Amino acid sequence: MSNKAGHQARKRFGQNFLHDPGTIERIIRAINPKPDDAIVEIGPGLGALTEEILAVNPRLQVVELDRDLIPVLRTKFFNYPEFRIHEADALKFDFSQLMVDRPLRIVGNLPYNISTPLIFHLLSQAGVVQDMHFMLQKEVVQRMAAVPGDNNYGRLGIMTQYFCRVQPLFEVGPGAFRPAPKVDSAIVRLVPHKTLPHPAKDLATLQAVVRTAFNARRKTLRKALGGMVSVEQLQSLGINDGLRPENLGLADYVAIADLLFEEKGAASPANEVSDD
């Protein structure tokens, strides 16, 4: 389905352009941009949010992969000389290079097909971020905010909550987009913790434990983590090996990872957040 700017939404980029004025206004209110903020928008599309942010913050920077959209954006916002467009894949983009004198505020209507790996990529750069406001598939937001015992609780929620406070804000129906997606969407606010509530001794070990556990989420911990952790080790931490992975909180996973790392006694690769 084309739109008034003549740009065909591309399936391979997961493009669904926001057009509903009420939804746009509500998102801008949630972001609450200020003139001096260092704001970065991922995937501006045809500039629905961009236009509203630029009206407040003329130094907005955007990261856009679709090269056909870049001339559309340049033409539409030609009267903002400080507006910067980075033609790049957000999945590979080094956001830390954009931070000069203040942490970044990152916003975006994220393509559903890359939302999870993109969130993991951004979490690895959480140290340069003040907050993030994203439009995501409703189910993804539910997974990010889930607590132990929820059906949606898993690796995405644990690792997001390791780095950030997760605040689901409101839901958005398919009609707010062109073309309309087949799923409901939701806006989420992520605020990186100034001090991590449960810092792991080694991030890579924590990720390995969580990934292994949830690869067998229906099994008991004894079986799900059988190749990594013994029943005796779990019991030494006061963790019932008969529980399932979804019953443990972040602090429990950090405790398991710290025990393994201490026993391994070796340094691990760089603290990157992996989406593997």
Binding site: what residues are annotated?
16, 18, 43, 64, 89, 109
Binding-site residue numbers for S-adenosyl-L-methionine are 16, 18, 43, 64, 89, 109
DSSP 123-147: HTTGGGEEEEEEEEEHHHHHHHH--
Joined together, the tokens standing for residue 268 give 């691990």
- 104-118 burial code (b ≥16 CB/10 A, e <16): bbbbbbbbbebbbeb
Instruction: Indicate the residue type of 63.
Output: V
**Residue 146 · residue 157 · CB < 8 Å:** yes
CA atoms in the 13 A half-sphere facing the CB of 272? 10
How far apart are alpha carbons 134 and 209 in whole angstroms? 28
3-state secondary structure of 114: helix
How far apart are alpha carbons 188 and 204 in whole angstroms? 26
Residue 195: CB atoms within 10 A of its CB come to 5
The H-assigned helical ranges of the chain are: 21-31, 48-56, 69-76, 115-123, 138-145, 155-163, 203-214, 221-224, 231-236, 250-264
